[in-house]
Amino acid sequence: MRLLRVATCNLNQWAMDFDTNLRNVKESITRAKAAGAVVRIGPELELTGYGCEDHFLEQDTTAHAWECLKDILSGDYTNDILCSIGMPIIFKSVRYNCQVFCLNRKIIMIRPKMSLANDGNYREFRWFSAWTYKDELVDFQLPIDVSEVINQETVPFGYGYLQFLDVSLAAETCEELFTANAPRIDLAFSGVEVFMNASGSHHQLRKLNLRIDSIKDATRLCGGVYMYANHQGCDGGRLYYDGCCCIAVNGDVVAQGSQFSLKDVEVLDALIDLDAVSSYRACVSSFREQASHVTKVPCVKVQYKLCQTFRDGMIPTDPVEIMYHCPEEEIAFGPSCWLWDYLRRSRASGFLLPLSGGADSSSVAAIVGCMCQLVIKDIDKGDEQVKADAARIGQYRDGEFPTDSRELAKRLFYTVYMGTENSSEDTRSRAKRLAEEIGSFHFDVPIDSVVSAFLSLFERLTGKRPHYKVDGGSHTENLGLQNIQARIRMVLAFMMASLMPWVHSKSGFYLVLGSSNVDEGLRGYLTKYDCSSADINPIGSVSKQDLRAFLRWAAVNLQYSSLAEVEAAPPTAELEPIRTDYSQLDEVDMGMTYEELSIYGRLRKIFRCGPVSMFQNLCHRWCGRLSPSEVADKVKHFFKYYAINRHKMTVLTPSYHAESYSPEDNRFDLRQFLYNSTWPYQFRKIDQLVQDIDKDGKWVEDRRADSQLRQRGAARPAQGGGMGVVAAGSANPSVGL
């Protein structure tokens, strides 16, 4: 029996903070060695941080990474342990994303990434090139200062594997796990038993199972050991890297790390029986047959043993039950950890939130409350780093530190209800009760006098005073009156965030939190430069439907009972006067429901539908509920306002990325912001399709057939464009129409 103890890790790195990154790498190696591991894998680009973006184009970034690696090799960190360390490397004037394998103060191989991530949030081709040579390993000349320290001039560079005396190992890097022609296939046929994946994978709602399934399938099909390491935390941008380092053997996960955590370093280890890998592969005839015809893969031979022989008490690690968080927990824990990293790394003193008593701002408040609860839990568990950060941010003195989440919230969280004559007592009381449950320092600030002052100034300038729609005003007047309220709130929020620490004799500044959701951004249902404009927004990429589910969950699990009442209330901006026969409602204002918005968003982004293909998909999806002309009206209405308001995405507050149909303009959803909002060509095509459907009578037949199916209690099969997949992703795909 060949037994191999391996270790992987989650590291909370920070782009361009080489001191923090180096410290975390060293700590992870130290912990891995203490556990008895002889193989250690770290995250992708762990020395620089994954999110350096255009800093990768600077020579300094690569030079500093080499300096950090030299520091590691100068000590005893790599003694008796094979370490894979991620960093950028320039070879023949080309920059590569590499894993550097080190053992006993030597570099034994450099493996450049072969399949770069270049979609969604990823832009690796902007900074790196993919290594495309598979036939041979080449010599890489080490930098002079590194060469002198380790007494080594060159190292093998390229695609290949490490052949030790008793085990063979190879690398995959992040995206290569998900490619169709993954490197591990030929490597497995060449006898490689252990695969080491250094990853930089970010959180997205309902995504973890896809990653875990890919890892399990990688070893289920080809056998072997798969070690997966990841970043965890906010490394300086919109993404939260959600850790979940793990180790899988022959299709079973034997170790799984946390997905959300405040820790800077988390190390997992497992004891693996490599003979079980050989046995697994040998019993599959198709694997044997394919392996016998495989093309030779280059290797580096290392005259060193890593495995142990069986001794009494040495038991290989058993499979574990995989831990998945429900979406409500993901919304609670992911943004909470992201906010904590942002708070402690920005050196801010806390957060300020305009709290309206509605679903969105209440969700943000609950997330901050959850953050405070997580901090207290980690302090109770003895995490000295979290304790030190909390004491510094909360400005505790003489060795004191927080012991209660409400006490901590009082020190670092301001909430402000900015009411007008249009605000209801219901929202005011809900905001106050939620603030009390969380423990925030709460203000109730009437702003009618400020609104009145602006209107009086406008009247003196123009001789006219605008009126609300319910009082006989035009649409232009009504919109202008709503916007001035919203923008005054933004100005007041930033003023209080900068001055309230001074008022309370505190140092520093507070970060303003935004609270617009992904659906409102998609539709443009927000005022440009209102309270959606803030420093950061933890829910900007979360749908309204998911937020309402989160509120129900948080009312029970975070013990903020007032959230149940918040969730039950109809969404309203409260920017128009309340009348006995009129009450402003978001969905009425938008001309569409939040459920419809979610479906439009998924079709537009995930299924890449323009107006015409969206109409065609929805005709099938809503067959029997809406006529083609009604579907056409809805699609046109959505795209009209999407086009009119797309410019708002260019100034959208930096938001936590959580949803696959986010309209965020910075890097995820790259589109123009000046449209012809009448979409003349596309809308004509839709009109023609409506006429064709009505003309050939097919729609009538479909509706009759659908009605008959429903009468028999049967569900109509999903039709067209993979809409069954869309249905699986929405809370209520039927849209209740």
What pLDDT is recorded for position 589?
Answer: 85
- Positions of the chain with pLDDT under 50: 714-737
- 263 and 178 fall within a common domain: yes
Which two structure tokens, joined as six digits, stand for 330?
């993901």
Q: Give which of 590, 637, 593 is closest to 615, Cα–Cα.
A: 637
> Are the CB atoms for 81 and 33 separated by under 8 Å?
yes
Domain membership of residue 36 (yes or no) is yes
The C-alpha angle 510, 515, 519, rounded to 5 degrees, equals: 155
Catalytic residue among 33, 52, 102, 113: 113
- 103 and 48 fall within a common domain: yes
What pLDDT is recorded for position 550?
Answer: 97
Alpha carbon separation from 79 to 37, 39, 197, 204, 702 (Å, rounded): 12, 11, 22, 38, 71
User: Using one digit for the tens of pLDDT, what is the confidence trace for 427-479?
Assistant: 999 999 999 999 999 999 999 999 999 999 999 999 999 999 999 999 999 99
Whether 44 is catalytic is yes
Whether 113 is catalytic is yes
Domain membership of residue 505 (yes or no) is yes
Last residue of a domain, one of 512, 545, 568: 568
Q: What's the number of domains the chain is made of?
A: 3
- 291 and 412 fall within a common domain: no
- 275 and 396 fall within a common domain: no
Whether 429 is catalytic is no
Catalytic residue among 9, 28, 33, 44: 44
Last residue of a domain, one of 507, 540, 568: 568
The C-alpha angle 437, 530, 205, rounded to 5 degrees, equals: 60
> Are the CB atoms for 135 and 117 separated by under 8 Å?
no
What pLDDT is recorded for position 706?
Answer: 58
- 285 and 301 fall within a common domain: yes
Domain membership of residue 455 (yes or no) is no
- 312 and 346 fall within a common domain: no
Domain membership of residue 717 (yes or no) is no
The mean pLDDT of the chain is 91
Domain membership of residue 426 (yes or no) is yes
- CATH at residue 36: 3.60.110.10
Domain membership of residue 487 (yes or no) is no
Last residue of a domain, one of 309, 324, 339: 324
Domain membership of residue 349 (yes or no) is yes
Q: What element of type H or E holds 498? A: helix 475-503
Q: Give which of 623, 615, 617, 608 is closest to 683, Cα–Cα.
A: 615
What pLDDT is recorded for position 704?
Answer: 53
Catalytic residue among 199, 201, 349, 356: 356
- 181 and 311 fall within a common domain: yes
- 217 and 87 fall within a common domain: yes
Whether 381 is catalytic is no
- 344 and 409 fall within a common domain: yes
- CATH at residue 636: 3.40.50.620
Catalytic residue among 9, 174, 337, 609: 174
φ, ψ of residue 356 to 5 degrees: the values are -90, -15
Q: What is the model's pTM?
A: 0.90
- 385 and 337 fall within a common domain: yes
Domain membership of residue 117 (yes or no) is yes
Q: Which residue range forms the structural domain that includes residue 431?
A: 328-446+497-568
What pLDDT is recorded for position 722?
Answer: 35
- 556 and 615 fall within a common domain: no
* Buried-exposed string 539-567: b where 16+ CB fall within 10 A, e elsewhere: bbbbbbbbbbbbbebbbeebebebbebbb
What pLDDT is recorded for position 711?
Answer: 52
- 628 and 537 fall within a common domain: no
